[in-house]
Each structure stands twice: as structure tokens, then as C-alpha cells.
Structure 1
Amino acid sequence: MGVDREVPEAEEGAGGSHTARARQVADAVERLVGLWTSAAEAVTPRLSRHQLNALMAVRHHAELNLTALAETLGIALPAASRLCDRLEAAGLLERVIHPRNRRELQLRVTSQGQRVLAEVADRRSISLAAVFAAMTPAARTSLEQGLQAFHEAYDARGDWNA
């Protein structure tokens, strides 16, 4: 069970409160998610967040079946089945007989699905590059250092639910 703990100002150090920093990061993440989502919405066929997540999960996990996809995405099996139906109808996903278990269907991203995923990745990179280009070199360096420090602090903490 997580415990919310308000950090006293004295522990926060110079430069403002952790809460204010957290709000700034939350605002930046919100903008990043918008940029991220718009890349998937700009491809043809247009992909919802769930469809994109499903395609990416299938691409990253070899031999994924419908049950495993539902578990991976945290959705019910009927919802996963409908999601796959739509992706299959769009030519982005296929269900094939598992090579070692003929009673099981395996999910695979089609070549068209691979092209769509590559286009989404390209659009995301171009959008991020445009934002980075608008930043000063010092700001880009600060961002890189800040992200690295965030990763290190996150990894060092371990269980964030405790």
C-alpha cells in the first residue's frame, strides 16, 4: 500500500518545492503524450491508443496469443478479441496457427502493420526533433542530464508502491 508523504519545504532545498516541480513535469508529460498520441492519429489507418498498444505488444512479444495480449494490455478477453478483429480487418494484424500447438492461434503484425508502426515512430521522432530544435543547446543538455538523474533515482528507489 502506498503512503503519500508531504515533503517539508526544509527538505526540498533551494529552487522551489517538489510539488511545484512535479506539476511542471506533469505539464510537460501531458504535452509529450499529446505529441505522442497525435503521431498515431496521423497515420492511415488512424490508430487509437489501444490499437497502437496492441500492435506494439504483438510486435515485441513473440508467440503472443489472444489471452496473453489481454493480460499484457490489462483488458478483458472479449475486448482484446474485438481489438484484434479491428486490427485484422485493417490488415495490420493476423492470427495464424501456432507452429508448435495447432489448437492455439498466434498473433502477428503484418507487413502493413510494421509499416504503420514505423511511420508512427518516424512521426514521433520528427515531432520530438522539432521541439528539441526550438530549445537552446544548454536547455537540451539540462534536459538530458535531468532525465538521466530521474532514471537513476527511479531505479534506485525500487518499489514505488511501498
Structure 2
Amino acid sequence: MADAVERLVVLWSSAGEAVGPRLSAQQLRALKVVRHRSELNLTALAEILGIALPAASRLCDRLEAAGLLERVPHPGNRRELQLLLTPQGRLVLTEIAERRSLSLASVLAAMSPAQRVSLESGLLGFHRALDAASAEPERKDHAGQ
């Protein structure tokens, strides 16, 4: 199973590396977070990514220099900057998603229908178990309060 997961990670990450500019996993994750969260500021991005504020600032500096992200005055608070994807940033995310889908579809097409059903069932179980494990520390934190 570990070999399959490693090969899936390679397949998944190679799509991001094939698109210019090359993005690290953290940069790609930051772009995806900004795309899905309107009115996001640097502090919120740092919290979501689980990184220190200076690291988030450097990350945004690199993404801004690459033309993928911009910092603009927040419409509701002039002292705060809002993070937004540029059109180029949206295009890069779309291209990566398309490359990933094509790569994955090619592998799935080589599997039998029964294998695809089994994989889907197994991944659904994995997803549920992961969600349950992620929720467990929250339950413990709330129980101790």
C-alpha cells in the first residue's frame, strides 16, 4: 500500500511541477486556500496553513512576485490587506487540476470496473476514518474544558 501511495503522490505532484511557474506543495496549498476563502488576510492564511506569520508573508511574497497572488486593501478595513488570486493564479490552478484529472483518469482507465469499485469503497472508508481521527483531538479538547 505504501508503494501505491508514494506513486500516487508522485503522479499528483508532477502535475504541479509541469506547470510554470513550478510551485511547491505549500505554495499550491496557499493558492487553493486563497481561491476558496474570500476576504482572507495574511494572519488567517498563516493559521490555516499552520505556519508562522513571517513564513506566510515570505510565501505570499514569492507568489506575488510570480504574478499568482496580489495583496489589496480590504474593502471593509483599510488597515488590513486582503489576499486575492490573480487571473494567472486562477489559470495555473485550473491547469494543474486538469493535468491531475487526466493523469488519474489514465490510471483508472487501465483498471477493471471491479477494481475501480473496490478502490472507491476503500478510499471512502479511508476518508471517513481520517475524518474521525481528525475530529478525535477536538472532542478531547472540548471534553477537558
TM-score by length of 2: 0.86
Choose between structure 1 and 2: higher strand proportion.
Answer: 2
From 102, 111, 115, the equivalent of 2:87 is 111
Aligned-residue CA RMSD in angstroms?
1.9
Per-residue CA deviations over 1:99-131 (Å, capped at 9, x if unaligned) read: 000010000011110000000000100010011
> Which consecutive residues of structure 1, in runs of 5 or more, have no partner in the other structure?
1-23
The residue type paired with residue 88 of structure 1 is E
Give the direction of change, closer, same or farther, for the CA distance of 1:155–1:52 in structure 2 (3 Å limit).
closer
Give the superposition deviation at 1:155: 4.9
> Which consecutive residues of structure 2, in runs of 5 or more, have no partner in the other structure?
141-145
| DSSP-derived class of the 2:91 partner | helix
Give the superposition deviation at 1:148: 2.5
Counterpart of 1:159 in structure 2 is 136
| DSSP-derived class of the 2:55 partner | helix
How many Å separate the matches in 1 of 2:44 and 2:72? 15
Counterpart of 1:93 in structure 2 is 69
1:136 aligns with 2:137: no
Give the superposition deviation at 1:77: 1.1
Give the superposition deviation at 1:28: 2.0
Give the direction of change, closer, same or farther, for the CA distance of 1:106–1:132 in structure 2 (3 Å limit).
same
Choose between structure 1 and 2: higher helix proportion.
Answer: 2
| Bigger-Rg structure (1/2) | 1
How many Å separate the matches in 2 of 1:49 and 1:154? 20
The count of aligned residue pairs is 138
The residue type paired with residue 33 of structure 1 is V
Give the direction of change, closer, same or farther, for the CA distance of 1:101–1:50 in structure 2 (3 Å limit).
same
How many Å separate the matches in 2 of 1:28 and 1:40? 19
TM-score by length of 1: 0.78
How many Å separate the matches in 1 of 2:43 and 2:132? 33
